[in-house]
Amino acid sequence: MHWRVNRKPDFKADLGHQFVWYFTNASEDVAWQFVEAVDRTLEQLRNQPFLGRRRCFRHPLLAGLRSFRVEPPFNRFLIFYRAVGEVVDAWRLMHGGRDLAQRLVEPPNAD
C-alpha cells in the first residue's frame, strides 16, 4: 500500500530556507539536488512509512514523531514525520546536529 505524503507548513518553510541557503552558499544546482534528495526520501517513506526511527521527546507537541535521514549526500538532514492513517505527515526538516528537542518546537528560521 502506498501512503499519501502531506508536507506541513513548517516542513515547507524548512525546505525553502535550506534551498535558499544552498542556492546562496553553494550553487543553484546543489540547491535543486537537495530538493530532489528530499523528494526521493519522502517517496521512500510514502512506500514504507515505518522505516524511520521512533523518537521519544518529552514535549507533548513531539509525541509520535519519527525521523529518517535524507538520502546522501544530504544525510545530515532529518525528516521528522508522523505516520497516521494512510498519511505521512512531513512535519519538519532539519540538520541532525541541532538541539532537536528545542528546535523542533521553535518556528522555522528561528536561528
pLDDT at 74: 97
Q: Which residues contact 13 (CB under 8 A, 6 or more apart)?
A: 108, 109
Establish if 49 belongs to a structural domain.
Answer: yes
pLDDT tens-digit map of 52-106? 999 998 888 889 999 999 999 999 999 999 999 999 999 999 999 878 888 888 8
Q: Which residues contact 18 (CB under 8 A, 6 or more apart)?
A: 34, 77, 93
User: CATH number of the domain that 69 lies in?
Assistant: 3.30.2310.20
Taking 70 as the threshold, does the pLDDT of residue 1 lie above it? no
Total structural domains within the chain: 1
Domain limits for position 15: 4-103
Establish if 108 belongs to a structural domain.
Answer: no
The CB density around residue 75, as the number of other CB atoms within 10 Å, is: 13
pLDDT tens-digit map of 27-36? 999 999 999 9
Identify the bridge partners of residue 104 per DSSP, sorted by sequence position: none
pLDDT at 90: 97
Establish if 109 belongs to a structural domain.
Answer: no
